[in-house]
Amino acid sequence: MCKCPYAVNFNKKLAGRVHDVGCMDNGLLFCLCPVLTCDGNIKVMGMDGGDGQEKFLFTKELFTCWPYVQACAQVCVPLGVCCNSMDGCKNYCSGTEFKTITQPVFKGPWKRGQGNPEKIGEFVITQRFEPVGMCCAAPVPIKYYYKPLTPDGDNLVEDELAALSLVLQLYKGMPVPCKHFSPAGFQVPTGVSCMDLGLMVQTKWNSVQDVLKDAEG
């Protein structure tokens, strides 16, 4: 009852609001027994426009026995974070200390049963790993941005871009009042495979020249 959804205003008008996924948003079967749902995509978060219509969404790809695999993966999160830190240190020594994380952005409205959602762009997160100890490095956020991939993704109005910027700020760790009552409430890409299970996230290590070249493009 105390949870307040994240929202963003543009020119003093509501531009977008995070749409929490309800128990029926992914269908009756998934609501009653998600273990039996072993393929396709499920919605993990939607973004409504000022008119209340869903504009964008983020999905998760399912596979056989995904709840059990995900539970095992969560147990391995400390090991995954440790390996990611060591991998960052290795790449720092190799001159490729910039890690790029990409996540697809899909066009709304969409419901499970309508086939695969339409991909219109992707979020690109760039982190730089800096040494914090022997054989360990920690990620430092460098750049968060949206990259269109289709004409629909490129021809966004200012309100829609403002709504996407809200999600990027949530990914970045935007400070908010009453955080315990207003959590992000959805899976956020981290670049650690066991934590990003199903999000269709791709990662790549880059040098500073690659990052500058990408920024110019």
- Beta strands per DSSP E along 62-198: 98-107, 119-133, 136-148
**Number of structural domains the chain divides into:** 1
Q: Is residue 104 part of a domain?
A: yes
Q: Is residue 187 part of a domain?
A: yes
Q: Is residue 27 part of a domain?
A: yes
Query: pTM value?
Result: 0.86
The percent of residues in the chain predicted with pLDDT above 70, rounded, is 91
* pLDDT(212) > 90: no
Q: Is residue 1 part of a domain?
A: no
Number of neighbouring beta carbons within 10 Å of residue 76? 14
Tens digits of per-residue pLDDT, 114-170?
888 999 999 999 999 999 988 999 999 988 999 999 999 998 888 888 888 888 888
* pLDDT(208) > 80: yes
% helix, strand, coil for the chain, step of 5: 30, 35, 40
Q: Is residue 26 part of a domain?
A: yes
- Burial 187-199, CB ≥16 within 10 A → b, else e: bbbbbbebbbbbb
What does DSSP assign to residue 118?
P
Say what the pLDDT of residue 111 is: 86
Tens digits of per-residue pLDDT, 52-66?
888 999 999 998 888
**Model confidence at 1, in pLDDT bands (50, 70, 90)?**
very low
Q: Is residue 2 part of a domain?
A: no
CA quadruple 176, 77, 103, 126: dihedral, nearest 10: 70
Distance CA(206)–CA(191), nearest Å, equals 14
Domain assignment of residue 101, given as a range: 7-216
Q: Is residue 98 part of a domain?
A: yes
Phi, psi angle pair for 77, to nearest 5°: -55, -45
Phi, psi angle pair for 75, to nearest 5°: -65, -30
Q: Is residue 158 part of a domain?
A: yes
